[in-house]
Amino acid sequence: MSSFEKPILVIGYGSTLRGDDAVGRRVVEIIANRILPNVTAVSVTQLVPELAAQIATAQAVIFVDASSDSDLSHVDVREIVNVPGILFAPHIFSPRELLSLASACYERTPPAWLIAVPSMRFEITDGISSAARRNICSAVDAVEQLINELSENAVPYA
């Protein structure tokens, strides 16, 4: 893989003070420690407009977030498609809105995925439940698999 390729951006987000809400950030911290070439790992409390600039220059974006969906029994990898042109500026940005903002400001929307990590406990604590902790390993595997697939299809940075 060439260092001239656009980076793959991995964004994990959530509150580290709300139990399992931090799983996305834990996943990204593990990815960051592996120092993968052409991968930029970002750990944030919440998605903010400033990320749009980084998103616009990325080859692809992988969002990692905790999911409170009780029907979700395993890590879910889903491509984010049909990003709308213009949305309301919301109180809290979602991946789709950030991608939309990148599109509006920079006329570019990279391919993007959301990795949803099943999570159960969102009480005020800095600990992650054992069940969610087990899902972190699966989520890291899912991120790495996506990175490998994207790297094989990488295009030189223009």
Partner 1 sequence: MSKRIVIDPVSRIEGHAKITVHLDDNNDVSEARFHVAEFRGFEKFCEGRPYTEMAGITSRVCGICPVSHLIASVKAGDAIMAVAIPPAAEKLRRLMNLAQIVQSHALSFFHLSSPDLLLGFESPPEQRNIFGVANVNPALARGGIRLRQFGQEIIEALGGRKIHPAWTTPGGVRGPLTDEECQRIRGRVDEAIATVTTALELFKSVLQKYQDEADSFGNFPTLFMGLVADDGTWEHYGGRLRFVDDARAIVADKLDPYCYRDFIGEAVESWSYLKSPYYKPLGYPDGIYRVGPLARLNLCERIGTPLADRELDEFRNRGELARTSAFYYHYARLIEILGAVERIAELVDDPDVRSADFRARAGVNRLEGIGCSEAPRGTLFHHYQVDRNGIIRMVNLIIATGQNNLAMNRTVTQIARRYIHNGHATNGILNRLEAGIRAYDPCLSCSTHAVGSMPLVVDVVDADGHVVNQWKRDCE
Interacting residues with partner 1 (CB under 8 A): 45, 49-50, 52-53, 86-92, 100-101, 104-107
**For residue 32, which of 21, 41, 23 has the smallest C-alpha distance?**
41
Q: Are 150 and 8 in contact (CB under 8 A)?
A: yes
**For residue 79, which of 116, 55, 56, 112 has the smallest C-alpha distance?**
112
Bridge partners (DSSP) of residue 145 are none
> Taking the complex as a whole, how short is the minimal distance between the CB of residue 47 and partner 1, in angstroms?
12
> Taking the complex as a whole, how short is the minimal distance between the CB of residue 73 and partner 1, in angstroms?
31
Q: Which amino acid is at 48?
A: V
- Alpha helices by DSSP H, listed for the chain, are 23-33, 51-56, 95-106, 130-152
Tokens of 101: 């903002």
> Taking the complex as a whole, how short is the minimal distance between the CB of residue 48 and partner 1, in angstroms?
8
> Taking the complex as a whole, how short is the minimal distance between the CB of residue 110 and partner 1, in angstroms?
16
Of 87 and 120, which CB lies nearer to partner 1 in the complex structure? Answer: 87
